[in-house]
Amino acid sequence: MNKPLSHIILERKTLLIGERWAAEGEHGTMEHINPSTGKILGKFASAGVSDLNAAVAAAKAAYPAWRAVTADQKREILLKLGALLERHRAELDMLSSMESGHPISLPSTGVAIDHVLYNAGWIDKLEGQTVPVYPQRALNLVEHEPYGVIGAIVTWNGPLAMTAMKVSAAIAAGNCVVLKPAELAPFAPARFAELALEAGLPPGVLNVVTGGPEVSDALVRHKDVGKITFTGSIPIARQILKAASETIKPVLLELGGKSANIVFPDADLDNAAHMSAFFGAMMVAGQGCLLPTRLLVHNSIYDEFVERVVTNIRQAKLGDALDPATMVGPVISSRAVERIMGYIDGAKNDGSAKLLTGGERGRGALADGYFIEPTVFGDVDNRSRLAQEEIFGPVLSVIRFDTEEQAIAMANDTSFGLAGYVHTNDLRRAHRVASQIEAGYLGVNAFPPMPASAPFGGWKESGVGKEGGRIGIEEFRRAKNIYIPLD
């Protein structure tokens, strides 16, 4: 009997070293659990330090030849990769939904394609500089060179998009890459690498090492890795920074957020309510670092506006990620369920906020999966755990404010600084408030779609550096000054 496409996809090998694919690593295999069902979906290679060392060696060996490849040839490879991603879009959408639980109605493959094609377009436009020097006459050149080997560590929420964002920028800048996918979502990154080889990327330029935390630690500490790019949690980022300090290597960090979404009385309330509901508690089950999970509403419209938000949320279908009608899928794991329900139950029990909707696990046919109802708490204290800690689940905290100054102060009263959102039809207020919010990514009357041409990254504990745009490519190049006397 023929196997369903879903099983065929998940039986692909996930460990790539040079041009050699393997289904098992030093530690054999690991099981992947389908978040929608709670059942085993497939297995993937569980690599160890020896596998990681071999991958870094393969990348180091491939680097001189890859650096020498001409810009037009590099560009053509990435353009072919973009075309292959487009050709396999339906497959990749399904693969990402199965492994991460993101609804197939909200595919992310298009984001991956955009980043690959955007970065391809920059390859033949990355120039250096000639700068004036004195007091002697000289030709002073500033060249921007690759680091050599980049270690890329991606998390599980949007694994394909993040892989494309990091890998295409790094190789466009002339580097080779060792990619470490998350244990909870290894298949889409491996499929990306498979298509990259098909597009003509030379063996060793991109290597994939799937496995546990020891692989990430060894990658960060490896002396032949020139820079690390990491997307994930702040506690893991602190470990990475300590490990990277051994070799004094730079680290690009895209971390968490607790982004404020400020709604003023003069806003388009229908638009603001839809955006607040969908992105604040529904999209990818709240598992996004830049989602507006703190909703700050002016007191004069509080009751009316919150009712609109709750109505929007109650109309959303909670269900299997592969159901086209599903708007809210499962969270990623049983551990995530326990952690998120801990926040919800804590707030329900201590009376620190008012539960407006949700607050329970999925029932009936959803009971075996990792489902949590989209949840809204009202009258939340801005200094409470609900408002200050990144829950990374479908939980929206609604907070009252009276003045513009108070809203700005509350928005900035957090250790995070990833994103911020403002809803108003007063253009001067929009500029004024957006300029005062301490965050790296702002949206006015909208949720920015993270275009490949725009730099993305946080301030404060939300990260260091930028991804996307030309700035995102420059993160993977380093300046060298060359001084040539003319007298």
Query: Vertex 41, ends 39 and 47: CA angle to 5°?
Result: 120
Task: Please say whether the beta carbons of 164 and 116 come within 8 A.
Answer: yes
Which of the residues 254, 373, 390, 467 is marked catalytic? 254
* Catalytic site includes residue 254: yes
Question: Over the chain, what HEC string results?
Answer: CCCCHHHHHHCCCCEEECCEEECCECCEEEEEECCCCCCEEEEEECECHHHHHHHHHHHHHHHHHHHHCCHHHHHHHHHHHHHHHHHCHHHHHHHHHHHHCCCCCCCCHHHHHHHHHHHHHHHHHCCCEEECCCCCCEEEEEEEEECCEEEEECCCCCHHHHHHHHHHHHHHCCCEEEEECCCCCCHHHHHHHHHHHHCCCCCCCEEECCECHHHHHHHHHCCCCCEEEEECCHHHHHHHHHHHCCCCCCEEEECCCCCEEEECCCCCHHHHHHHHHHHHHHHHHHCCCCCCCEEEEEHHHHHHHHHHHHHHHHCCCECCCCCCCCCECCCCCHHHHHHHHHHHHHHHHHCCCEEEECCCECCHHHCCCCCECCEEEECCCCCCHHHHCCCCCCEEEEEEECCHHHHHHHHHCCCCCCEEEEECCCHHHHHHHHHHCCCCEEEECCCCCCCCCCCECCCHHHEECCECHHHHHHCCEEEEEEEEECC
Which of the residues 26, 99, 183, 289 is marked catalytic? 289
* Catalytic site includes residue 176: no
Angle between helices 71-87 and 159-172 in degrees, nearest 10: 170
Task: Please say whether the beta carbons of 225 and 219 come within 8 A.
Answer: yes
Residues serving a catalytic function are 254, 289
